[in-house]
Structure 1
Amino acid sequence: MVALPSHPITLNTSISPFLEQCKVYDLLHSAVAILDGRCCILYENPAFSTFNLAVRDDAIQLRQLPSLLDCPDIQDWLNQCLQSGKNLTLKKTFYYSPRIKVDVTLCARLILTSNTDETGIFLTLGEESIDFDRSHIARSQESHRSLTERIKALDNDKRQNERLIRVLLKDAPFAMLLMNSKREIIQTNRAAEQLFGKTAAQLLGQPCQQVLSCYQKCGHCPAMATTLSIVAEEITGLKSDLQIIPLIRNAVVLDRDTEPLIIEAFIDLTEHKQTQETLNRLSEFNRLLVDSSGEGIFSVDVDLHCTFANQAAASILGYKSEDLIGQHIHTLFHSKQEDGNLLPIEDIPIYKVISSGLGMEANEVFWNRNGHAIPVQYQCNPIHESGSVSGAVVVFRNVSEARATAKKLDYLATHDALTGQLNRHAFEQRLANVIKHAYEDEFNHVLCYIDLDQFKIVNDTCGHAAGDELLRQLSEMIQNNLRRTDIFARLGGDEFGLLFANCPMEKAKVLAQELLSRISEYRFSWNNKLFSLGASIGMAELNRHIPDTSTAMSAVDAACYVAKERGRNRLHIYQANDLDLNQRHMEIEWVARIKTALNEDRFFLMAQSIVLVDQPHVQHQHMELLLRMYDEEGKIINPGSFIPAAERYGLMTEVDKWVVKEALKQLTLHPQYLQQIVHCCINLSGQSISDEKFLAFLLEQLAQHPAAAKHLCLEITETAAVTNLSHASQFMRSIKEKGCSFSLDDFGSGMSSFAYLKNLPVDFLKIDGNFVRDINHDKVDYAMVEAIHRVGNVMGIKTIAEFVENNLILGHLKDIGVDCAQGFGIHKPEPLDKFLSKTINPV
């Protein structure tokens, strides 16, 4: 569809006179409507009415909408047009029945009137051509001529049968008068009586000037004064109320022996004139629309000379419209390719369209008056006249901005938004290319996996904003100390990838050790606090033992893990013969430590408030329980250290059982808190959800603690729910019968969120914090949060935003309409007993 002009329709009057003009659109097949400033319909033509019926929204097919314009998305879009003052286009899909899917394109153009408080919208649906059938006049004239010829033949044959003439007049489908040489009416028919608004008695015997104004002007009969006939002459007639009627007259004079007879036939042109006036107004309106279109439009003849160009086309090319008329478009602006090489005339799509008679879309380059290349996208269609191609019309748009946007999107797709370095996907692509050619060249390559040590201390102490700034500074420092041929990327979190290209292992070890020293010497300052950190580096030479990217990344990840276990701030080189042993040894150690902690009750719970976005000061009514572990020396261990081993070796169900028991016990021991609490959230693993024994255990615990059950909200990750969809759905429905609610954690991090959401009976969506944390400056993240909330809102599911670190983020969430928020900017986690004491005895 051709884009709307960038400026609105401006009226010198109010909108009411414009509505009278709009009635001409009743004749069109194009769907047109006029809306007022409240998006209510002031006018709609029949074509628009056929679309504005009850529909079902494509995104939520279960909800019936009364009409097309009742769709919330369309209402929001129309309000956006009114508020922004811009002309907008919207593509939307609807279902008029379960089997009828309709894709529509709506175009809204703002209407401004002389009254600044009165605005409206000119709304069109789809792209339709306008064609009016003017052939009825020609057909009527042909009928008149046929009847005249029949009467003339009677005269030529000297068969003066007046009775037959009267019968012909009486039955004619159009107005006819029979007059004598004095132009007195001696015979009429019903059609004439209806046309002039008089009865036969009022017409017979009267001079023709009673109904025909032409005789009043000339004073004699033009039919008898000229060639004894008149063909298709435009005159005016008079009705009984003296109303003037535009007519077409055909007349013939019959030369009888006694005296001539004049037979005249009339066609009422009133409707034709009105239609013509309407067409003229519409033509002018369409000319203004085309001339003010935001897209360039020009036409050429078969020799490629410009025959028309609107203002947009001239402006894009740097000319005036009149300067383009008559110019050869190939010579003027379409003779070179983007690289400056000549483009033969036979190769330009416009020439091909004229030659083939078939339309074509193309991406080409036009050259403006200053000699600058302008990338354009255009649609070219042939103009057919009298069965042959007489030229072509081209609609084009400048895609320079679109290209720049695509380039930016390509950059965003391959680079980390926080640090500006390559992201994991781009890094692994380049790594795959290096591995593919590793055997074809004689160069050595070394892959490194860098994991920062002590980074979490900065995050926990100063918040994620400080952590993000540290990652930005550190990645820039690392990049500045690498060779030009080295490939560096942020893989995620505080992990980085580094590829020493064309570098033997001995040299790579030296470079990696220098990098470790620079990281150790680096000092990060935040709010008058200095932080130092280190890094653990896993290294692997890309040789025959590493056939693909997955193996390579797994090898350096394992080597990095060994470096951490051996004391951190060091590097470890992957060796095929000792990796499995080291990895198993470390994981078995964690398994033993987890089992010991369970036996010795060295796990404990912390709590973090979840607040309503519009009431952030009201805390301790909603909370999430967070698991921590004490090590053998009494130091706190975060779950990121032991949860992976627990998941890998099947211990998560036991850990989840401990959490459920402890949570229900604490809630039951504090009945005062149960009177104030709304929800207490507990995280469950994917292993527990798919374990039928755990379901039985949980049902038993809820039966033992019925008072706490209705306050319990169980959180499962989106990934776990999708991976075990059938188990997850069955599990959730069984528990919800006991009064518990469910929250889908990290929503948006998976690839199938929306597709599977409708199959899961969840009460809350916890929006992935990776989208929330950058919502202040990342439009994509803002859009993701808004989309997730909208889907949740439509489905009746409350939304919770994680990683809310400041009031600015909270303000954006409030604008979007997110229900709840959680993060360091609202409440930092604290031991559960301390949290409960504040709730029961608030300050």
Structure 2
Amino acid sequence: MFVGLFALILIAIGFAVSIVQVQAAVAAYTGGESIWSRSQLSAVIYLDRYARSGDPLDLEQARSWLSIPLSDRKARLAMEGESLDAEAARAGLIGGRNHPDDVDGMIWLVRNLSDIDAFQKAIVAWQQTDPGLLELVAIGDALEMNWSVAQPDLTQIALLRQQLTAANDGLQIFSLQFREAMGNAARWAADVLSIVSIIFLLFLAFMAWQISARLTRSVRRSAQNFRAIFEQAAVGIAQINSEGNVLDVNETLSKILGYSKPQLLVMRYKDLLHPEDWESGRLQQQEVMSGNTNSYTFQQRLMNSSGGSLWARLTVSIGHYQKTRTTNYIVVLEDVSESYRMSKELNYQANHDELTGLINRRAFERHLKHVVSQAQTEHGAHALCFVDLDQFKIVNDTSGHLAGDELLRQVAAIARHSLRESDVLARLGGDEFGIILRNLTMDAAAGITEKLRAALEDMVFTWEGRSHSVSCSIGVVPITNKDKSRLPRLIRLLNEPGRPRHSLYSKYLK
């Protein structure tokens, strides 16, 4: 009997240690995913810069960042084989910037728990990133080949940038799926520990006089281990009660926000929120309170100790404590300010002309589709204008491309000043601009375009002592609900390369 009890105690301790190892490994994968996501996004940023600049240093930086998620991929492949290639797995995980002390636990988790549904979903999400990563490698090689020739194919480069954006979007989706799956796996491990602990405690109640001392030490050790995980986690963690008071925080959260732990423990969560984000997450919180979901993830701006703001990704879970009849929230916080800034910068670059700062052809087409649809449903009247500079080639030929670039910038500034705030102005390419005039008659559109034409004719462009007069050709096409057959052709026309500049307008004005 005593041998059985001793064996049971050993099994219980081993199980508790295993749960701690599982949660430590899950925490390591969560931190590793943050590094993976930041590295992948940085690789996309530098590949996009290389596509625009052709600077080999940008390509070198992109490949350096991309090597991190690729190294993680090599580690996973080594762990997924029929026989474990431990050396390759360790090298891959360390190459992925994971801490060497966490590597053994991470390998153990994949080798022993990957068939469990909670962990299998995370592994599948990880596997689904492979095509996207390999596509980034292929895009980098294709861009390098393009920029290695004397005259790069700018059209091909533009297509590669579009592929780059699409690949990045796909990878971000799988990254989020991996993070959510790992969060579910952590909760699953906690639930299993709770259930098994209850069963075990029921048995120990009958045999308490034999094993109470050992049980107390085991529980204390487990609590210390969990506390160590809480304090040493790579992400910020806070416990908040239902009234919004901060009950506990770890060291990482204090570093992210710049407050000391004693300062945070006398604050309310609302004190840390950006004033414009006080209501964000309210609907998700109501879903949790009603029992429809156990947790939710969203992004929110927080205020740090210096008065500045940062973007944070928050995962909020609810915990009910029947003994005290209270409800607390566990908030896991990750600083995503840099990722948010990079994503915003990438989105801006994808929709704006770098030279003039105007929106580009791609964004202009979206505006045009919206206005066309609006004309059909709201019976509004709008106008589509194409503007070509008549003297641009002369400026380029006589004063050089730098002069031509400056002329385009000045023309864009004059056009902005000549239009209304509601109008849409874009550079379509070369010396060609597109304008959408909203909610006006053709007579009013003619007045605005005449104002623009006169402003450009009054302009005298000077470059290195040489002066150039500027004139333009402007074509105006009405956008109404009366001629439905014309509207789809306008959208197709916008993307036709090399269309005639002047005959184009007369063709549609007839």
TM-score by length of 1: 0.33
Structure label with greater radius of gyration = 1
Which structure dedicates a bigger proportion of its chain to strand? 1
Which structure dedicates a bigger proportion of its chain to helix? 2
Structure ranking higher on relative contact order (CA contacts 8 Å, 6+ apart): 2
